[in-house]
Structure 1
Amino acid sequence: MGIALSHNLNQTSLFGFQDYPTSVSCLSDFQSKLDSMSLALNLTSKCFDPEQFVITPDVCASIVTIRNWTDKLGGDNSLDQVCGSNLSDLTTCETCYAAAGSHGVRHLKLHLGLIGVATAVFLVICLLGLYFWYYKKQQKKPKMEVDANQESRPRMRPNTDGTIVAVKRLTEPNFERDSDFQNEVEIISNLRHRNLVPFKGCCMVDETVSADDYGGKQRYLVYEYMLNGNLDDHLFQNPTNQSGPLRKSLTWPQRKCIILDVARGLAYLHHGIKPAIYHRDIKATNILLGSDMRARVADFGLAKEIKEGHSHLTTRVAGTHGLFGPGICTLWAAN
């Protein structure tokens, strides 16, 4: 049947029969040849439908004639090299059939590959769209407000073993809640100036040290240790005081340098940050001296933030009683 179609292609340049009667006539002739081979009757009617051999542009990529075939595949086609004009020879026919089959397999693989790539791209686009949708949905969610009564747990810094620090234990309940104390610590932890005592961190302990403790809450402020103590030790020396070493008297150049250092530290608090902070508790015991006898302002954590445009005048007595001395402490981060 394929040989008959090939002869028809050579004669008419059509890949099928021109009309339905021609297809019926060809199949009848084919059946007569099968009958001469003593095969079963009516094989063509059982295997073929005459309609399937009638040429129509609705199938096979609209290829109807040889010209359509050349326009679709181009003049240089691998099938033309193995498929001659005469396919009556069985060897030539088999070679042409095999070439056509492999050609179809290559096209099938190409089509499957393109479908696979398109599917992968589609899946990636869907996943990206899903991700961005979820991300925007999360962004639109209102942020959870922390309950005012819920206390946040500070993060613990690694302990620097053997480091000597100055620890001040607060002995008055200036802060009703731990969150208020932590907010104050966060403010002073962001202050950096060479004439301010470097703040290291804080400690909060839920235990009672004495009967006078407020609610069993122990709060400690941790600073860098100043080797030469405070200014009060140098200005008002008491020879009968055995609690510390006897300090040398300050020279006038040292006193002038200390005054300027204190002024620079206060200027930073007043004008170098916003909102400004006014110390309101400047005294000799709150001015500490380092190993180079340079002055640094301490206890600025007990100061008060002043919003811009507001008056800093107040009748409230500033300052908090506390015990201040050297020690070693496990530090908690201010933030």
Structure 2
Amino acid sequence: MLENDIRRLLAYHIISQVGYMVAGVGMGVFGTAAGEMAINGAAAHAFCHILYKALLFMGMGAIIEVTGRSKLTELGGIYKYMPITFWLYMIGAFSISGFPLFNGFVSKTMIIQASAMWHYSIIWLMLEGASIGTFLHTGLKLPWGAWFARDKPVCEAREPPKNMLAAMGITAFLCTLLGVYPQILYNILPYPVDYVPYAPGHVVAMCQILLFTFVAFWLLRAMLHGTPTITLDTDWFYRIPGKKVIRFCEGPLMAFASFMDRGTMRMAGFFRALPPKSQTVVENRIDNAFHVTLPELLNFEKTYDKIKSVKVSELSFNLIYILIAMLLLLIFILFGVVMK
């Protein structure tokens, strides 16, 4: 809840939505009404999730496109410059939160209903609780921080290009269409659907949850605003060790490099201080070492010939020993046969 990056916020929330689908598949025992309801709910929610999550990412992408900012602490106060983008985004937020008349409601409640049919009270409670977190996170905190948290914006803002608005509008229309006419979605599910999403009990329960979530957010909105920090996840494995590597490079490694530089400069100064004749002698010895001695040491052909000759001689002696042993063995065998 304290994440500051709008892209990471939406990306993290994919986990909870996939959790609904996994729960539906887990309860999907074939041949039972509750199992078929769970499988249908998982399939429907996967379909709906593609739509509303795409709409949410497009909404945040529009903000990044026109402002160049992706941190909640760098946004706010841009509603009057981007009202169309805001309301298109909110259709996606209402959908993912499970508001009635949007596609998330007609798919999410199927999975919740399946848990109730199986009498899995704990799973039912967890699924309902996830709806609270979804609305608090994606439907309230993120749009509030991005559009309303300040009186005046700290960056320039405007509506995105028309092609981006058109893409968001089409996706928002589909989210609303499937929410108003869920039978379009239910007709393509794996099993026949015997479920009425807009039963009074479903609608009232979901509205109560979302209403009290809004009240809690409004009272605690100052505490839930983004903070200028980096929330570590799997990036811990390269951020924390990476700092230590950088410190090592800046500390001991640079000290060693400086030591080598000083030593090289001292050696160069020593050679400069020698008389001209001594410098010539030293240069000749160095030249002789690199052009005569070193090539002899690195003459691999001669070295290989020596090693090869040694190995051949050793091999010859080994063959002689083997032949003597075989001859003695043959004598013992013949001696035994004769004695019999």
Q: TM-score, normalised by structure 2?
A: 0.20
Which has the larger Rg?
1
More strand by share: 1
Bigger RCO (CA 8 Å, 6+ sep) = 2
